[in-house]
Structure formats: structure tokens, C-alpha cells
């Protein structure tokens, strides 16, 4: 039986997507720039003139942000953020803001191995900062301690996986969808490395919900649907609370259910 509380924790996050997908964290501080109408209009503004202005202004700034990204990434980030203020649903602007993020925090998994030269290469220099760090173990485990070490190791791993899941959920709440996916990826790798059983299923469910929510927010509906399909494989009767979950997520879950033939 799955841990319902853990699953519900994930559902709360799913519900939060309703607001987060439409409103970036920065939108809280969307002030008009010099010369712009105040308060800053948005695409879809009730005034057709201002709505059209917001649409064209977002396009103009997006062109500018793209042009300066290679030479002034931080300035481009600010412009992308402003585009998101004008048009919170602009996926390209969201990608641009992530691409040009001026401050990132990486938390690579530290693994202890037999040698320190075995780090998996990552062709992307900056993404490699998230790759696991392998350091050589200096002290061999005492003889006969294998089983205890195994049990302790599993406990440590579960603790680490829980931290990753909590971090991914926090990132999701902060609308940092790509970071949430990266952190969830670590949790997925951690889960895959453990033998099945124990309390893995509830963690797997949390993981799938985080990924489904983040993928849906990023507009990758197929990936989100695949996550929901895995949720249904774990818990065929799984449902989301329609009163607190975005209609988009509800639709994706229903689509996954129709595909997998899982019972409601």
C-alpha cells in the first residue's frame, strides 16, 4: 500500500502548478520600466490597446534579449524576466530566463568509489557541475561489516533520496521547473540504484508527480503523460483532487488513464 500522506504532499504541489505555470515567481515584482504604461499591462489586458501594446512590447524585448544573450547574459536575463511580466505564458521567454540565470546552486551527489578518476564525462561544461562527484575511499570497511554497511547504506540512500524529493518539491513551488527536474533526476537515479521493496513505491509516486507537474509546466505534455502512466502503474486507482489541481494536469492524468486502461 502506498504512503497516502506522501502522495498527497505531491498533490499539493500539483495543485500549486495551477498558479505557478501561469505566473512566474518574478511576476510578483513586475514594475513598469521607464516610459512604459503604469501599471504594466499584460497580454490579454482588458484594454485592447494596452493588450496589443503588451504583445508587441514582449516581442520587441524578446528580440532584444536574444540579440544580447551571447554578450550580456545577465542583462538578457532581466529582459527575459520582463517579457514574462508582459506575457507570463511565453514559453520561449521562460526558457530564455532559465538559460541566462545569473545565479545557480548545484548540489552534486558525492559518491565514494574505488578510484577518483571515473567521473562520467558531461559534454556540457556547465551542466557538468551537477554531475556526481566520485572521490576515492581511503579507509576500507572492516571485514564482516558488509551486511551492516549495506543496511546502513540503504538508510543513507533513502535519506538522500528524501532530501532530493523535498528539494525538487521546493523548486517546483518556486516555479524553478528545470531545476526541479534535475533534482528529481538525481532522486530517480538514487531509486534505481536500490533493490526493490521497502518504502520505495511512495517515493516513486512523489517523484513521478513532481516530474509530471514540472514537465506539464514546461509544456512537455507527452513526458508529463508518461509520468502519470507510471503513477497509474504504481496505483491504478490514483486520482487528483479536481478542486485544487489545474485542469491541464487533470486532463493529462485522464489521458494517461485512457492510454493505460487503468481503472478510476
Partner 1 sequence: MTNRARLLLAALALAGCQAPPPPAPPAELSIEIVSGYASRPPVPAPEAERVELLVDVTASLRAGTAGAERFRAARRAASRFLTQVPAQTRLGVRALGVGPRDGCQSPTLLTGGRRERTRAGLAARVDSLQPAGEGSLAVALAELRGELVASGELRRSRVVVFTDLGSECGGDLCTAAELLIDDGVRLDFVVLGDAAAPACFAELPVPEPPADPPPLLPSPGFQIVAYDPGPEREPFLLAEGSADGTRRRVPAGPVTVLLGFEPPSLIGPLVLSPGTWTHIRVVEFPALDPPVREWAWSTFPLAAGARAPR
Please say which residue, 31 or 242, places its beta carbon nearer to partner 1. 31
* Residue linked to cell 514559453: 91
CA distances from 253 to 180, 205, 217, 230, 232 (A): 20, 13, 14, 11, 9
| Smallest distance from partner 1 to CB 257, Å | 36
**Considering just the CA atoms, what is the radius of gyration of the chain in Å?**
22
Q: How far apart are CA 140 and CA 149, in angstroms?
A: 12
Which residue among 4, 137, 149, 189 contacts partner 1 (CB under 8 A)?
137
Q: Which long-range contacts (CB under 8 A, 24 or more apart) does 100-105 make?
A: 100/65, 100/69, 100/73, 100/74, 100/76, 101/77, 102/73, 102/74, 102/77, 104/129
Grid cell listed for 215: 514537465
Which residue among 5, 34, 115, 243 contacts partner 1 (CB under 8 A)?
34
Q: How far apart are CA 30 and CA 36, in angstroms?
A: 12
Please say which residue, 85 or 165, places its beta carbon nearer to partner 1. 85
Query: If binding means CB under 8 A, how many residues of this protein chain bind partner 1?
Result: 64
Q: How far apart are CA 216 and CA 111, in angstroms?
A: 32
Per-residue x/- mask for partner 1, residues 35 to 64, rule CB under 8 A? xxx--------xxxxx-xx--xx-xx--xx
Give the phi and the psi of residue 171 in degrees, each rounded to 5. -65, -35
Site membership for partner 1, residue 112 (CB under 8 A): yes
Look at residue 150 and give its three-state secondary structure: helix
Which residue among 2, 92, 174, 200 contacts partner 1 (CB under 8 A)?
174
Site membership for partner 1, residue 134 (CB under 8 A): yes
DSSP structural state of residue 31: P
Which residue among 1, 5, 105, 142 contacts partner 1 (CB under 8 A)?
105
Q: How far apart are CA 241 and CA 239, in angstroms?
A: 7
Please say which residue, 76 or 226, places its beta carbon nearer to partner 1. 76
| Smallest distance from partner 1 to CB 209, Å | 22
- With contacts defined by CB under 8 A, name the span among 10-18, 126-134, 186-194, 214-222 that binds partner 1: 126-134
| Smallest distance from partner 1 to CB 136, Å | 8
Please say which residue, 36 or 254, places its beta carbon nearer to partner 1. 36
Instruction: Give contact residues for partner 1 (rule: CB under 8 A).
Output: 25-26, 29-31, 33-37, 46-50, 52-53, 56-57, 59-60, 63-64, 67-68, 70-75, 77-79, 81-82, 85, 101-108, 110, 112, 116, 119, 121-122, 125-126, 128-129, 133-139, 163, 174
Amino acid at each position: 500500500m502506498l504512503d497516502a500522506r506522501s502522495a498527497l504532499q505531491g498533490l499539493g504541489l500539483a495543485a500549486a502548478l495551477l498558479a505557478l505555470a501561469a505566473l512566474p515567481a518574478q511576476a510578483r515584482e513586475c514594475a513598469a520600466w521607464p516610459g512604459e504604461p503604469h501599471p504594466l499591462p499584460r497580454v490579454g489586458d482588458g484594454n485592447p490597446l494596452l493588450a496589443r501594446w503588451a504583445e508587441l512590447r514582449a516581442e520587441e524585448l524578446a528580440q532584444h534579449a536574444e540579440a544580447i544573450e551571447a554578450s550580456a547574459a545577465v542583462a538578457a536575463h532581466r529582459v527575459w524576466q520582463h517579457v514574462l511580466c508582459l506575457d507570463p505564458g511565453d514559453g520561449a521567454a521562460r526558457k530564455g530566463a532559465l538559460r541566462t540565470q545569473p545565479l545557480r546552486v548545484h548540489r552534486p551527489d558525492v559518491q565514494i568509489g574505488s578510484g577518483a578518476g571515473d567521473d562520467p564525462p558531461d559534454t556540457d561544461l556547465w551542466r557538468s557541475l551537477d554531475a556526481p562527484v566520485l572521490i576515492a575511499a581511503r579507509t576500507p570497511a572492516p571485514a564482516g561489516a558488509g551486511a551492516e554497511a549495506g543496511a546502513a547504506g540503504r538508510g543513507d540512500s533513502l535519506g538522500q533520496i528524501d532530501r532530493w524529493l523535498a528539494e525538487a518539491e521546493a523548486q517546483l513551488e518556486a516555479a524553478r521547473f528545470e531545476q526541479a527536474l534535475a533534482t528529481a533526476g538525481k532522486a530517480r537515479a538514487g531509486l534505481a540504484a536500490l533493490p526493490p521493496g521497502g518504502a520505495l513505491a511512495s517515493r516513486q509516486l512523489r517523484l513521478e508527480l513532481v516530474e509530471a507537474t514540472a514537465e506539464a509546466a514546461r509544456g512537455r505534455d507527452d513526458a508529463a503523460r508518461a509520468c502519470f502512466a507510471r503513477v497509474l502503474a504504481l496505483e491504478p486507482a490514483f486520482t487528483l483532487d479536481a478542486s485544487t489541481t489545474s485542469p491541464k494536469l487533470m486532463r493529462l492524468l485522464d489521458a494517461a488513464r485512457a492510454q493505460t486502461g487503468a481503472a478510476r
